[in-house]
């Protein structure tokens, strides 16, 4: 027996939208018939497609491409080829070239393996189709390559693979012969040019030697460099002497030639031996004059004689100082003149060395040109001889290891694999579409949607189960003695309302929904039937614009309605009908003044009167998107039961309706998810 689940009033939203394995399996279980059906249809279509495919036969020839270095004459030396890998890759591309394909195609035509129509343009079409069926597969790190051809005709497949292999070797021989011939012709022309260039270079070298008179340029360069070195050393020495002489000369000039006292203090004067002796004699005479002056007067003969000697010594000292100064000046001029002469000699020697270097450089350049042209001439002369000797040698760079054999079994299509792949892809695609559809679904389908997307208390999930095609049976489902899933769900609503009531005074409940066809009336009426088992319960149909409850009940049950009561045309007792233990006040007849009647004080007073007479009152209101009558009624009720049809409306519309209820000031008792798919789990993936 299916038991409905009692939901907590506390909403616990998920941290993130994560699909668990159990949720995924639940979604797949819902579509457990659709997925196999879709997979079966696609598989059936793939089977018919595979049957319609023509069998293809694949024949393979094995070719080994020789390394280019095995050739007698290196092709690289003649017209240049890069490394081994590049060479082999180039040959693989040549194998797939149009020239090779066309040669093989023409050979097959000559052998009547392929026939052409009378229309000439068909040739290119057939050639392109022929090339599309060719595959070249080199074996990694080897010189082996597989040449395969696929065709509906097994004999043609083998012939084509072999024809391509032979066409490649023939193409190689033709191209090698053409290249060798062209290379030989070109080298002969080039050899003549090199001969003329070599002769011209040799004449230029000899002419330069004769013009410059070059015999032993190396010896001249050595002598000139030795002379330059000696002169440079002499220049350094004389420049040292010049610095000393210039220093003395500047001292003399700064002191002054007539300033004998100052000149006498110069080092060059003080160091002179004669000056030193004269100064010693002067000192002796000065002491003698000093002694005589103490005994004699200035006119005394001895005194005069001593003074005369002292004057003579002073004059002699000045004369010697003058000679020393003149000698220093002459020495400075001589050293300066010598320095200039040596400097000129150094410059001339340097110029000679540079001139010899220039001649040496030019001579070396001419000699290099002669050597280069002679070496190039020798290489060309040797190569042209080798090329002429091997021009008639017919050796290919490739040989066929295994010729293609006529295949006995088709290589493709592998029909079982195609059918299996189609079935697997269809199965995976169907599951992916189902999961994507569920993930993009923005409606409220299961309990978790109601809790997370609406952020409201979920009172119960009512399963969707068709009992019969009659409207009456759609509404009157609840049975006090039945234990079916629907009746248990209604009992769960009853329990949830009891648990969520804040006080026993909460007796009057408004029942509404966002839009029509969400099963609002059915849930409201059956919930009232369930509460009737607990106490006095009244069901009021407040949909005065489109009354419907009378369609579900016996015609003689309803004698009047809410419209008659509000218009004071009937009493409550006369308009109250019974259905089992449940009291019913239907809308009665339609009216265009529904909102005016519900807004009126008389309706509020009526609910107050009925609150005292009954333990539970359920007011069935119109849906919110139709009219705003439910907002008016909700203000006079204790709580609102909000019915949400599973998978009917998107979340935005439902939340907008709930927001209107809350903004009106009414109390939300909770949400009831109606017409839920029983095959879905409580929490949808």
Return the percentage of the chain with pLDDT > 70, whole number: 77
Residue, of 119 and 362, whose pLDDT is higher? 362
CATH architecture of 447-676: 3-Layer(aba) Sandwich (3.40)
C-alpha–C-alpha distance, residues 541 and 544, integer Å: 8
- Nearest residue to 631 via CA among 604, 602, 657: 657
Residue, of 378 and 535, whose pLDDT is higher? 535
Return the percentage of the chain with pLDDT > 90, whole number: 8
Per-residue pLDDT for 236 more than 70?
Answer: yes
What letter does residue 403 receive in the DSSP assignment? P
At residue 9, the pLDDT reads 36
At residue 502, the pLDDT reads 63
Confidence of residue 213 (pLDDT cuts 50, 70, 90): low
Q: Which among 68-82, 286-300, 549-563, 619-633 has the top mean pLDDT?
A: 619-633
At residue 256, the pLDDT reads 66
Per-residue pLDDT for 565 more than 70?
Answer: yes
Confidence of residue 685 (pLDDT cuts 50, 70, 90): very low
Q: Which among 103-117, 123-137, 297-311, 442-456 has the top mean pLDDT?
A: 123-137
In the chain, where are the structural domains located? 21-53+413-440, 447-676
Q: Determine the average pLDDT of the residues in 360-387.
A: 77
- Nearest residue to 486 via CA among 535, 538, 447, 522: 522
Q: Determine the average pLDDT of the residues in 38-55.
A: 85
Confidence of residue 68 (pLDDT cuts 50, 70, 90): low
170 neighbors 102 (Cβ within 8 angstroms): no
- Which tokens belong to 414? 């592998």
C-alpha–C-alpha distance, residues 635 and 618, integer Å: 14
Q: Determine the average pLDDT of the residues in 527-531.
A: 92
Q: Determine the average pLDDT of the residues in 583-587.
A: 90
At residue 503, the pLDDT reads 60
Residue, of 467 and 607, whose pLDDT is higher? 607
Residue, of 451 and 81, whose pLDDT is higher? 451
Phi and psi angles of residue 534, each rounded to the nearest 5 degrees, phi first: -100, -25
At residue 115, the pLDDT reads 67
Provide the β-strand partners of residue 641.
511, 670
Residue, of 563 and 25, whose pLDDT is higher? 563
Other C-beta atoms lying within 10 Å of the C-beta of residue 683: 16
- Nearest residue to 550 via CA among 460, 622, 476: 476
Residue, of 172 and 360, whose pLDDT is higher? 172
Other C-beta atoms lying within 10 Å of the C-beta of residue 316: 15
At residue 572, the pLDDT reads 87
At residue 641, the pLDDT reads 94
At residue 485, the pLDDT reads 84
Q: Determine the average pLDDT of the residues in 641-647.
A: 89
Q: Which among 32-36, 144-148, 241-245, 567-571 has the top mean pLDDT?
A: 144-148
Phi and psi angles of residue 489, each rounded to the nearest 5 degrees, phi first: -65, -40
At residue 394, the pLDDT reads 61
Residue, of 84 and 610, whose pLDDT is higher? 610
C-alpha–C-alpha distance, residues 261 and 265, integer Å: 7
Instruction: Classify the C-alpha dihedral 598-601-604-609 as positive or negative.
Output: negative
462 neighbors 490 (Cβ within 8 angstroms): yes
Mean pLDDT for the chain overall: 77
- Which tokens belong to 270? 């003080």
Confidence of residue 277 (pLDDT cuts 50, 70, 90): confident
Q: 571, exposed or middle or buried, with CB in 10 Å at 0-12, 13-18, 19+?
A: exposed
pLDDT in tens, 482-527: 778 888 888 999 988 888 776 667 889 999 999 888 888 889 999 9
Q: Determine the average pLDDT of the residues in 656-682.
A: 83
C-alpha–C-alpha distance, residues 127 and 95, integer Å: 15
At residue 550, the pLDDT reads 75
Q: What is the DSSP string of 99-119?
A: HHHHHHHHHHHHTTSS---S-
- 362-394 burial, b at 16+ Cβ within 10 Å, e below that, comes to ebeebeebbeebeeebeebeebbeebeeeeeee
What letter does residue 306 receive in the DSSP assignment? H
Per-residue pLDDT for 15 more than 70?
Answer: no
C-alpha–C-alpha distance, residues 518 and 644, integer Å: 6
Confidence of residue 566 (pLDDT cuts 50, 70, 90): confident
Residue, of 656 and 280, whose pLDDT is higher? 656
């Amino acid at each position: 027996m299916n038991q409905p689940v009692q939901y907590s009033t506390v909403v616990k939203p998920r941290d993130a939208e994560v699909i668990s394995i159990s949720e995924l399996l639940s979604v797949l279980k819902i579509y457990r018939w659709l997925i196999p059906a879709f997979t079966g249809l696609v598989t059936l279509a793939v089977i018919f497609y595979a049957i319609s495919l023509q069998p293809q036969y694949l024949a393979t020839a094995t070719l080994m491409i020789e390394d280019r270095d095995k050739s007698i004459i290196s092709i690289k030396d003649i017209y240049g080829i890069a490394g081994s890998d590049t060479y082999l890759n180039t040959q693989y591309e040549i194998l797939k070239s149009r020239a090779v394909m066309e040669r093989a195609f023409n050979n097959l035509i000559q052998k009547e393996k392929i026939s052409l129509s009378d229309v000439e343009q068909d040739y290119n079409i057939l050639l392109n189709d022929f090339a599309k069926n060719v595959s070249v597969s080199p074996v990694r790190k080897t010189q082996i390559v597989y040449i395969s051809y696929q065709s509906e005709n097994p004999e043609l497949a083998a012939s084509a693979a072999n024809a391509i292999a032979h066409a490649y070797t023939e193409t190689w021989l033709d191209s090698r012969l053409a290249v060798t011939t062209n290379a030989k012709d070109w080298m002969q022309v080039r050899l003549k040019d090199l001969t003329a260039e070599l002769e011209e270079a040799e004449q230029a070298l000899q002419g330069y030697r004769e013009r410059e008179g070059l015999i032993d340029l190396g010896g001249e360069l050595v002598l000139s460099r030795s002379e330059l070195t000696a002169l440079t050393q002499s220049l350094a020495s004389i420049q040292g002497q010049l610095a000393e002489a210039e220093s003395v000369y500047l001292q003399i000039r700064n002191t002054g030639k007539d300033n004998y006292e100052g000149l006498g203090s110069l080092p060059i004067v003080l160091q002179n031996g004669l000056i030193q002796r004269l100064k010693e004699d002067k000192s002796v005479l000065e002491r003698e004059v000093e002694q005589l002056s103490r005994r004699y007067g200035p006119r005394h003969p001895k005194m005069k004689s001593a003074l005369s000697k002292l004057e003579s010594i002073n004059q002699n000292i000045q004369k010697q100082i003058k000679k020393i100064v003149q000698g220093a000046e002459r020495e400075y001029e001589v050293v300066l003149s010598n320095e200039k002469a040596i400097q000129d000699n150094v410059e001339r020697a340097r110029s000679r060395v540079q001139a010899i270097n220039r001649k040496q450089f030019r001579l070396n350049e001419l000699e290099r040109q002669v050597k280069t042209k002679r070496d190039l001439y020798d290489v060309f002369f040797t190569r042209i001889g080798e090329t002429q000797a091997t021009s008639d040698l017919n050796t290919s760079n490739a040989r066929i290891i295994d010729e293609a054999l006529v295949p006995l079994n088709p290589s493709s299509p592998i029909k079982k694999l195609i059918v299996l792949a189609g079935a697997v892809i269809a199965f995976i695609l169907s599951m992916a579409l189902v999961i994507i559809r569920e993930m993009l679904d923005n409606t409220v389908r299961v309990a978790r949607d109601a809790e997370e997307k609406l952020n409201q208390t979920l009172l119960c999930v009512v399963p969707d189960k068709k009992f019969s095609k009659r409207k009456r049976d759609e509404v009157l489902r609840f049975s006090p003695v039945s234990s079916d899933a629907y009746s248990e769900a209604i009992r769960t609503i009853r329990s949830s309302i009891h648990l969520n009531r804040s006080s026993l005074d909460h007796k009057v409940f408004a029942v509404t929904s966002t839009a029509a066809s969400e099963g609002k009336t059915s849930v409201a009426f059956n919930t009232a039937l369930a509460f009737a088992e607990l106490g006095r319960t009244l069901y009021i149909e407040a949909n005065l614009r489109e009354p419907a409850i009378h369609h579900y009940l016996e015609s003689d049950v309803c004698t009047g309605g809410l419209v008659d009561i509000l218009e004071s045309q009937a009493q409550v007792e006369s308009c109250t009908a019974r259905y089992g233990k449940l009291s019913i006040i239907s809308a009665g007849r339609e009216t265009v003044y529904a909102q005016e009647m519900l807004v009126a004080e008389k309706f509020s007073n009526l609910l107050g009167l009925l609150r005292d007479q009954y333990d539970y009152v359920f007011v069935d209101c119109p849906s919110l998107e139709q009219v705003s009558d439910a907002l008016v009624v909700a203000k006079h009720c204790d709580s609102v039961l909000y019915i949400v049809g599973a998978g009917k409306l998107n979340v935005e519309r439902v939340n907008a309706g709930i927001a209107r209820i809350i903004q009106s000031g009414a109390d939300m008792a909770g949400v009831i998810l109606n017409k839920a798919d029983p095959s879905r789990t409580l929490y949808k993936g």
